[in-house]
Amino acid sequence: MKTWTRKDLTGLDELTSEEINFLLETARAFKGVGERSLKKVPALRGKTLVNFFVEPSTRTRTSFEVAAMRLSADVVNISATASSLQKGETLKDTALNLQALQADIIVLRHSSPGSARFLSERLDSSIINAGDGAHEHPTQGLLDIFTMREKFGRITGLNVVIVGDILFSRVARSNIFGLVKLGANVTLAGPSTLVPRSFENLGVRVVHRIDEALEGADVVNLLRIQHERQRKEYFPGLGEYTALFGLTKARAARLKPSCLVMHPGPINRGVEIDSDVADGSQSVILEQVTNGIAVRMAVLYLCAGGAGIPA
């Protein structure tokens, strides 16, 4: 039986642990391509990928483009301002036109939760979710988990702490779904307004004191405050947020020496993470970005019908 039969990746919630592990193994095989002098394989030669980003992005859009080019696919980038969404065309009509232009894969970032799933159910092209509102960011979750697995050799039993604006974070949701399926112990920490107890229903621990959360942590993953999705004030001010929940130098000094400091980016230096800690020896923030290429190569390869782990 084939381990991967999906044409789309819309979230980690829908994947089995076997599928996640298969994606991670495929990404491990593709990581080697980035370490060669000729960083290219012919796996997707003749395929066309459209990067359709209706929200801003630096890492994800570039990473998908680099991943597709390393697989020898042709890549077209379009943004909201350069698309006919501006003229009143619906998302579905725009996507159907991209399909009519023979896009094999559409990578979508959109502010509406469920937008990638909506298109995946209506198009034959592969749809890859590059972040849909506060719902999921599956390739970010995968690259975070890939980085942890690469460093520790396992996910089962790892104590992973995710700190910050969980309520509005698609990165947090994808991490939670993936990590819980693979057997990690996940703790969420932040103000009660941004980390409600209802998250415990997802199989995680919720605490509202960061020092309690950081005790025994193997990984601390900091999240930015998602101001663009908040409609009211969830805490008194950034200074108070940093004092209560920021990974300051004093807090970082109490982490286990083996504890990884992670952040999906973009980072707000001096708010959720001290600038020196972001650049310090325990930080793997830029390694996460590099690993994103291999993870996205694996996702594109498998969703486009690639069979098995490439040699």
**Nearest distance from residue 157's CB to ligand CP, in Å?**
26
- 102 lines the binding site for ligand CP (CB under 6 A): no
Q: Which of 48, 162, 265, 277 binds ligand CP (CB under 6 A)?
A: 265
Cis ω before 266 (30° cut-off from 0): yes
The residue from 11, 141, 191, 264 that contacts ligand CP (CB under 6 A) is 264
Closest alpha carbon to 139 in 277, 310, 289: 289
Residue nearer to ligand CP on the CB measure, 58 or 258: 58
Q: What angle do CA 25, 44, 90 make, to 5 degrees?
A: 100
Candidate ranges 33-41, 64-72, 161-169, 258-266; the one touching ligand CP (CB under 6 A) = 258-266
Closer Cβ to ligand CP, 133 or 206, answer by number: 133
226 makes contact with ligand CP (CB under 6 A): no
Nearest of 306, 251, 303 to residue 280 by alpha carbon: 251
Provide the token pair at 196: 């409600």
Q: Does 60 bind ligand CP (CB under 6 A)?
A: yes
Helix (H) or strand (E) run with residue 35 in it:
none
Residue 264 CB, nearest approach to ligand CP (Å)? 4
Least distance from ligand CP to the Cβ atom of residue 311, Å: 30
CB 111 to ligand CP: min, Å: 12
58 is a contact residue toward ligand CP (CB under 6 A): yes
- Binding residue count for ligand CP, defined by CB under 6 A: 10
26 binds ligand CP (CB under 6 A): no
Distance separating alpha carbons of residues 17 and 31, to the nearest angstrom? 21
Compare residues 176 and 206 and give the one whose CB is closer to ligand CP. Answer: 176
Nearest-approach distance from CB 265 to ligand CP, in angstroms: 5
And the tokens for 78?
Answer: 């379009």
Q: Which stretches of the chain are DSSP H helices?
A: 17-31, 59-70, 91-100, 115-120, 138-152, 170-181, 210-214, 238-245, 249-253, 275-278, 285-303
Selected from 59, 151, 208, 229, the binder of ligand CP by CB under 6 A is: 59
Stretch that binds ligand CP, among 112-120, 212-220, 244-252, 259-267 (CB under 6 A): 259-267
Binding mask 132-161 for ligand CP (x = CB under 6 A): -----x--x---------------------
Burial 234-272 (b: 16+ CB within 10 A, else e): bbeeeeebbeebbbbeebbeebeeebbbbbbbebbeebb
Q: Measured from the CB of residue 53, what is the shortest distance to ligand CP in angstroms?
A: 8
Structure tokens at 247: 């990974």
Number of H helices and E strands in the chain, helices first, is: 11, 9
Residues forming a β-bridge with 203: none
Binding residues for ligand CP (CB under 6 A): 57-60, 131, 137, 140, 264-266
